[in-house]
Amino acid sequence: MTRAGLLALDVDGTLMTYDGVISAGVVDAVGRLRDAGTHVVLATGRGVHSAVPVATELGLTEGWIVCSNGAVSARIDPSRQHGYEVVRTTTFDPGPALRAIVMELPDALYAVEDLGVGFRVSGDFPDGELSGELERVTFDELAETPATRVIIRAPNSSPDDFHAVVARVGLHEVEYAVGWSAWLDLTPGGVSKASALEEIRRELGVEPHATVAIGDGSNDVQMLRWAARGVAMGHAPEGTRLAADEVTGGIEDDGALPVLLSLLV
């Protein structure tokens, strides 16, 4: 069994249900792992402004957090105004990708992360899908804004539609991940949860064999491959499950919990 020196945890669909609930068992297990000296690092697509409150709920009051699918790495620091310090960010020019995709999906919604604040958006996203402050701007303004993360949402399309669009237009110099709904995340090329976690692993001095990760989305594939023990949630898409060393139960079964408990043995 891999001893967890660094434990990387996705949030939505892994630790937290789609209704925003983290079980008491998960909170307790994370706390016990923290107290045992494991570096517990949330690794999420969420922006730092919405990831840090999750860390607080889990009792993580110090240490690293990976946000925006790896484009932002921060340290949790309750002494600071917003509870964190951004240490590293990577941005990209979203213009070429956005202009290619808008030709295929002219009615889609577009959002560019406003670091630590919220999002600049082209229109009204479905309620509850974006967190933080939302500022409506023109498409051209979005395309000209250096970005850590871009979201493209087409409520009337399907994930398969997005895969087809990506295949047609090609996406160069960016990373992308298609979500459960018609949701496309774009991040800087070469940047992923895995790349950010590897930098943190080296800084912490954790051996590669002591890394564990749990996730459920296509944006977790590289992270699961990076970890010595990569665990996919049972409800994860096939590509994510194939990237993992093992598969646990789904979010409806609190599938992350037995994995966390196995690290306490």
Q: What pTM was computed for the model?
A: 0.92
CATH number at residue 140: 3.30.1240.10
Taking the C-alpha atoms of residue 156 and residue 93, their distance in angstroms, rounded to an integer, is 27
Nearest to 246 by CA among 261, 234, 254: 234
Domain region containing 198: 6-89+191-262
Instruction: Tell me the per-residue pLDDT of 218-235, one tens digit each, with 9 for 90 and over.
Output: 999 999 999 999 999 999
Instruction: Tell me the per-residue pLDDT of 162-212, one tens digit each, with 9 for 90 and over.
Output: 878 888 888 777 887 777 667 888 899 899 999 999 999 999 999 999 999
At residue 180, the pLDDT reads 67
Asked whether residue 220 is domain-assigned, the answer is yes
Q: Does one domain contain both 141 and 209?
A: no
Q: Does one domain contain both 258 and 245?
A: yes
C-alpha gyration radius of the chain: 18
Least confident of 13-27, 171-185, 229-243: 171-185
Checking if the pLDDT of 2 tops 70, the result is no
Q: Does one domain contain both 124 and 199?
A: no
At residue 169, the pLDDT reads 83
Q: Does one domain contain both 147 and 169?
A: yes
CATH number at residue 41: 3.40.50.1000
> Which stretches does DSSP call E strand in 34-182?
39-43, 63-67, 72-76, 84-89, 109-114, 118-121, 133-136, 150-153, 174-178
Asked whether residue 1 is domain-assigned, the answer is no
Q: Does one domain contain both 102 and 184?
A: yes
At residue 163, the pLDDT reads 79
The residue from 153, 168, 188 where one domain ends is: 188
